[in-house]
Amino acid sequence: MSTDQVMLYYEKGMQAVEMQARVFWAVLGEALGEQEKMTEVKNADRPDLKRFYELYGNKIKRG
């Protein structure tokens, strides 16, 4: 194996490891973000109507 081939494999391997790390931290960040949102809603005594109307607006029609 030539030096050029070794360097190519090394660079591609490092790029793959960096990409795996980015994906891992992104997924972990999203999971933790969702966890905080879920605990926020579970601890509420009453539904937050203001937030509900911001999210859904007039999409739900009453019969």
Q: CA 44, CA 52: separation in Å to the nearest integer?
A: 13
Question: For residue 63, is it within any domain?
Answer: no
Backbone angles phi, psi at 25, to 5 degrees: -70, -35
Question: For residue 35, is it within any domain?
Answer: yes
- In this prediction, residue 51 carries a pLDDT of 82
Question: For residue 62, is it within any domain?
Answer: no
**What letter would DSSP give residue 43?**
T
Which structural domain, as residue segments, surrounds residue 51? 3-56
Which amino acid is present at 11?
E
pLDDT in tens, the chain (63 residues): 888 888 888 888 999 999 999 999 888 888 887 655 555 555 556 777 788 888 887 777 665
Question: For residue 13, is it within any domain?
Answer: yes
Q: Based on the structure, what is the number of domains in the chain?
A: 1
